[in-house]
Structure 1
């Protein structure tokens, strides 16, 4: 293998340069400008949402979501455990208390069974959460039919962490619109990129206005700089938004390509003993941001190391937050008593190269190499 096959890299469309040039020639390169406004409008239209607020990162958008929902120090917030740490870090920024909820086997996302037990216990203790952060893992939406019903019964809003699922659909609705608030990420390895950045999705104009206020240093509407609450520098730049505008032109193509990559892997590998791919819920279509699978009969760490030696980049599944030292003493509710789905997935799973710019030849090299490894052959 001459060139390394990477996990997921930026895939530019060719449209980005036009919008970047507009920003540069107008000298409008800061956190305001026509690209930001146009990107927000186009993103909201894509999601079938009322509005979008472009931010410096998906993490910033989660932080703003929590703040606009009234989460304050000492409050409680539930969060998926099987996720990247950025989903839960904003809880700690605020000084709130996290409770971690396990995944379910059917989607690898938040378990409705675990959430039901956690909410019942919290109600009994008088510690119902101010918000529930549900993560759409690897581009697959969670079981929102069950999760939103539970949240509504306890009158708790859901923040949908759709950082990995832009372009996914659940029961006819776009990812990012399945909770009270939604969050996207545009990091370099995501479905589309702005070189870094995120967005808050909302149908509530008051929440958007409050989020915008907090994201721009909470400057009061006076003729001079006057501040009464803590604000943040969380807005996206006009240049980054220009990249995003160019990327939105090809988002549906990127989703289609990643789904094709997933289907090719599944078709050629799922017949091998002990190989299981992340399932897709009925009435849903994941973006398949990353192709994720588990292995019953092989150590995924050894497989990943062997692939790395021949220039194929893979990645482990997320280490559950309740297994992280940072969240060592945080309450955790497993899918069922004695059944920790997140940890089992972490111990047996890996992600394969899935970028929309992965060529058919490269993918076949990955498949052939992985097939030999799983059959016990040595690869060089």
Structure 2
């Protein structure tokens, strides 16, 4: 019997999600809004510890609306980590603004707070403060928010937390998504929980939530006819997908525990690899187990021969052709993370046999040198 393919981070759904989805379907709440959407938003807001949540079609949509709420306009600049997925920077370009990329710290692979503070200070002296700062919680581990918020508050620049990868993680006891003007969550198929696609904006600011909700429904005015005073977007999550999300939220603690177990298994069985550091200030959700190795490409190739998916770490934005004209602060840390970074299969449904297959293939590649 041939072993099934092992994916990097596939969806993990159960009978609970199926039951909630069918209940929504049978109740005919198929249109974009409905009771499951309301409940999903309430439950996610409670989990993150904020007052408001707006469920949207993607995490990128949430980033776009968060930047609008921060007042980002054409010609503005926004400080963005270079070591991230392209969606973080793409949302800045949607508004005609320009990202200014900032390097990571090797201590957590997240954006370097000292570089953020230095860049803000230098731009304040020139009278060219950015309109916003985005921090990203890399691979399920929160950025260092105390110094980031201190620096942003000093210059009156709003912070947006891209927590797309970090639902369930914590920073000094506070949940990921709870920092800054707004937090952004993703429920893409490879995230720790999924709605089959989707995202969410979470915030304590009622104005931000109201604006996001309004813009996400084509900015329709509350009158009987279709009245529009500003450009809106078709960004609302559907009630059916929200039903799936409700089931996933209930299972989140178990999924985090399963990914943590996988991380510790790899750490124990592959001691020659350099694992992403776990910062003392918080607890990640272990979305992906990531390592550094000079044999990255050889290991990926060996895993592929055994029908196992693995990927390099994010290619920094300042090295992407589309962003070649953007300013970069630092760069050697994120460049090295890409050169040696490897993401191993980390799904919450991985079996013991799956993990053993991964470890065996990695050891084979290491032995070949």
TM-score range, shorter chain: over 0.9
Q: Does 1:316 align with 2:312?
A: yes
**Which residue pairs with 2:321 in the alignment?**
325
TM norm structure 2: 0.97
1:117/1:333 contact within 8 Å kept:
no
Separation in structure 2 between the aligned mates of residue 255 and residue 155 of structure 1, nearest angstrom: 35
Separation in structure 2 between the aligned mates of residue 260 and residue 224 of structure 1, nearest angstrom: 54
Shift of 1:212: 0.4
2:56/2:235 contact within 8 Å kept:
yes
Show the 5 A alignment for 1:37-56. Answer: 37-56=38-57
Which deviations, in whole Å up to 9, do the C-alpha atoms of 1:167-218 show, x marking residues without a partner? 0011000000022210000011101000000000001111101110010101
**Which residue pairs with 2:280 in the alignment?**
282
SS in 2 for 1:43: helix
- Of the three residues 267, 290, 295, the one matched with 1:299 is 295
1:5/1:311 contact within 8 Å kept:
yes
Q: Does 1:160 align with 2:161?
A: yes
Shift of 1:290: 0.4
Structure 2 alignment gaps of length 5 or more: none
Separation in structure 2 between the aligned mates of residue 328 and residue 121 of structure 1, nearest angstrom: 22
Show the 5 A alignment for 1:1-380. Answer: 2-270=3-271, 272=272, 275-295=273-293, 298-334=294-330, 340-376=332-368
1:180/1:202 contact within 8 Å kept:
yes
2:188/2:197 contact within 8 Å kept:
yes
Separation in structure 2 between the aligned mates of residue 21 and residue 152 of structure 1, nearest angstrom: 46
Separation in structure 2 between the aligned mates of residue 14 and residue 151 of structure 1, nearest angstrom: 44
Separation in structure 2 between the aligned mates of residue 255 and residue 128 of structure 1, nearest angstrom: 38
- The worse-fitting range, judged by mean Cα deviation, of 313-322 and 173-182 is 173-182
SS in 2 for 1:160: strand
Separation in structure 2 between the aligned mates of residue 19 and residue 126 of structure 1, nearest angstrom: 53
Which deviations, in whole Å up to 9, do the C-alpha atoms of 1:16-47 show, x marking residues without a partner? 12221222122221211011000000111111
Shift of 1:109: 0.5
1:14/1:246 contact within 8 Å kept:
no
Shift of 1:52: 0.8
2:160/2:182 contact within 8 Å kept:
yes
Which deviations, in whole Å up to 9, do the C-alpha atoms of 1:97-122 show, x marking residues without a partner? 11011110011000112212211221
2:295/2:366 contact within 8 Å kept:
no
Separation in structure 2 between the aligned mates of residue 371 and residue 250 of structure 1, nearest angstrom: 33
Q: Which runs of 4+ in 1 moved over 2 A?
A: none
SS in 2 for 1:249: helix
Shift of 1:301: 1.4
2:70/2:181 contact within 8 Å kept:
no
Separation in structure 1 between the aligned mates of residue 42 and residue 122 of structure 2, nearest angstrom: 41
SS in 2 for 1:77: strand
2:298/2:365 contact within 8 Å kept:
no
2:142/2:284 contact within 8 Å kept:
yes
1:58/1:198 contact within 8 Å kept:
yes
SS in 1 for 2:93: helix
Separation in structure 2 between the aligned mates of residue 280 and residue 145 of structure 1, nearest angstrom: 17
> RMSD between aligned alpha carbons?
1.2
Separation in structure 2 between the aligned mates of residue 351 and residue 38 of structure 1, nearest angstrom: 34
SS in 2 for 1:250: helix
Separation in structure 2 between the aligned mates of residue 213 and residue 141 of structure 1, nearest angstrom: 29
Separation in structure 1 between the aligned mates of residue 6 and residue 19 of structure 2, nearest angstrom: 29
2:111/2:136 contact within 8 Å kept:
yes
